[in-house]
Amino acid sequence: MLFFLVHIAQVVRAGWNNFRAMVAGFEVVEDPAPMPSTAPRAAAPDAASGSGNPLPAVPPLPMRP
């Protein structure tokens, strides 16, 4: 009986969503509103290449015959 009570207490402590995930095999997670990014912005694009890629242009590798 103690085994059963301990496990019921663990389920209550973990939360209903975790219990539902164990039974169903997947967890339902609500997508929160996106937060504004605080990461630094990428460097300005290379004006010479005009491709919008901030890295310098690299010639393609030669093809083997």
The pLDDT of residue 3 is above 90: yes
Q: In the structure, what pLDDT confidence band is assigned to residue 14 with cuts at 50, 70 and 90?
A: confident
Q: Which of these ranges, 16-20, 45-49, 60-64, has the smallest mean pLDDT?
A: 45-49
- Name the more confident of 48 and 34: 34
| Single-letter amino acid code for the residue at 32 | P
At 22 the pLDDT is 81
φ, ψ at 34 (rounded to 5°) = -65, 140
pTM reported for the whole predicted model? 0.35
Q: Is-contact 29 18, C-beta < 8 A?
A: no
